[in-house]
C-alpha cells in the first residue's frame, strides 16, 4: 500500500513537483494526500493545483494568531492521517506533537550540522557556503524536531564546488542532488530500510 504524505511548502513548489513526478514514475511508493502552503501568493499553490493535488492555504494573513494558526495546521495534518509529513521549503518551525514524532521529514541545502540553524535557509545557505570558499557541500534529509536543523539524519548527498563558484551555481548543483536524495530517503523509510528509533535513525 502506498504511504500517505502531507507536504508543507513555503516557496515555488519545485520540491513538491519533484516528489509527485517520482510518484507518477513509480519510483516513490506514496500518495500526496494533502499539500499545505503558507501563503496564497506562493508558486507552490499553483503547482499543487496544476498537479491535481488537494491543497490548503494556512497563512499568517488568514490566521494572525500563532496559536490558532498552529492549531489549524496540526489539525489539518492529523486529519489527513499521514505516514509522513514532508517539509518542502517550509519556512516556519513546525510544532511536532507526540503522534507525529519520527514522521516529519525535512531537507536542508547543506551538509548538517554545517550551515544550519535559524536563518540558514535557501539562498542564505548557498551565500554562506560560497563565502566560506569550501570545496564540498550537499544536502541533508533529516527528521524534524522542535529545533531548526538538529534532528536525526536519514541521509546526505554530496556536491563538489568549483573554485570561485557563486551562490547561484551552488544552489543549482545542490537542488539537483536534492531531487534525488529526498525521494530516496522517503522510499528507504517506506520500505523499512531506514527507521526512526528512540530519536535516532538506524539502517537495516
Cβ atoms of 83 and 51 closer than 8 Å? no
Q: Locate cell 530516496: which residue?
A: 184
Residue 91: enclosing H or E segment and its boundaries? none
Smallest CA-to-CA distance from 148 within 184, 88, 100, 95 is with 95
Cβ atoms of 171 and 109 closer than 8 Å? yes
Strand duo 153-160 + 104-108: pairing: unpaired
Strand duo 3-9 + 84-88: pairing: parallel
Give catalytic residue positions.
108
Q: Cell numbers of 165, please?
A: 563558484
What CA–CA distance (Å, rounded) separates 142 from 170?
21
Amino acid at each position: 500500500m502506498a504511504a500517505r504524505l502531507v507536504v508543507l511548502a513555503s516557496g515555488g513548489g519545485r520540491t513538491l513537483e519533484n516528489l509527485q513526478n517520482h510518484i507518477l514514475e513509480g519510483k516513490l511508493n506514496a500518495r500526496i494526500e494533502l499539500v499545505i502552503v503558507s501563503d496564497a501568493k506562493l508558486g507552490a499553490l499553483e503547482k499543487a493545483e496544476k498537479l491535481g493535488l488537494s491543497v490548503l492555504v494556512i497563512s499568517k494573513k488568514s490566521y494572525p494568531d500563532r496559536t490558532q494558526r498552529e492549531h489549524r495546521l496540526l489539525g489539518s495534518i492529523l486529519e489527513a492521517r499521514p505516514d509522513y509529513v514532508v517539509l518542502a521549503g517550509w519556512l516556519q518551525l513546525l510544532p511536532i506533537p507526540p503522534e507525529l514524532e519520527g514522521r516529519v521529514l525535512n531537507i536542508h541545502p547543506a551538509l548538517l550540522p554545517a550551515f544550519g540553524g535559524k536563518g540558514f535557509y535557501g539562498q542564505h545557505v548557498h551565500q554562506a557556503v560560497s563565502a566560506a570558499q569550501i570545496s564540498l557541500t550537499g544536502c541533508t534529509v533529516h527528521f524534524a524536531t522542535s529545533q531548526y536543523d538538529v534532528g536525526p539524519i536519514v541521509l546526505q548527498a554530496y556536491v563538489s564546488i568549483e573554485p570561485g563558484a557563486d551562490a547561484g551555481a551552488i544552489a543549482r548543483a545542490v537542488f539537483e542532488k536534492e531531487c534525488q536524495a529526498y525521494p530516496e530517503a522517503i522510499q528507504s523509510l517506506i520500505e523499512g530500510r531506514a527507521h526512526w528509533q528512540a530519536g535516532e535513525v538506524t539502517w537495516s
